[in-house]
């Protein structure tokens, strides 16, 4: 069985859609509340590696937490970004799915999920 860690926020409709999709396809995953327990350092690092061309994609830019601090993402060092994420899980794009501990999928895109899990 493939290992999937699914960081989610219960009030996030996109997270609920993604979880429903995974459930309907009988994909097993470990559900973690991203607010109570932000992704591990190595998973955040993996996401920043994958999205290094546009670090902004790792942020939940439409959320209140992001808008309240409005960081200049391009001026932040990787360590500073990770510290921000660890201090407030609401800053992270969600759902935040870790696949086999080698790939991060941000947000929910049915086509991308189907490619990975079907």
| In 1-118, beta strands by DSSP E | 4-8, 30-33, 96-99, 103-106
How many whole angstroms separate alpha carbon 25 and alpha carbon 1? 14
What the chain holds in terms of domains, given with CATH numbers, is 4-117 (3.40.30.10)
pLDDT at residue 1, rounded to an integer: 60
pLDDT tens digits along 39-91:
999 999 999 999 999 999 999 999 999 999 999 999 999 999 999 999 999 99
Model confidence over 19-31: pLDDT tens digits? 999 999 999 999 9
**Reported pTM:** 0.93
Q: Report d(CA 43, CA 49) in Å as an integer.
A: 10
Report the alpha-carbon distance of residue 35 to residue 89 in Å, rounded. 5
């Amino acid at each position: 069985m493939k290992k999937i860690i699914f960081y989610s926020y219960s009030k996030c409709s996109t997270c609920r859609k993604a979880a429903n999709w995974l459930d309907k396809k009988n994909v097993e995953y470990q559900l973690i509340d991203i607010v109570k327990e932000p992704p591990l350092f190595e998973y955040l690092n993996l996401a920043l590696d994958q999205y290094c061309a546009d670090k902004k994609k790792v942020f939940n830019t439409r959320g209140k937490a992001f808008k309240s601090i409005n960081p200049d993402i391009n001026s932040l060092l990787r360590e500073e970004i990770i510290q921000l994420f660890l201090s407030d899980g609401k800053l992270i794009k969600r759902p935040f799915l870790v696949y086999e501990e080698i790939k991060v999928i941000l947000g929910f895109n049915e086509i991308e999920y189907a490619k990975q899990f079907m």
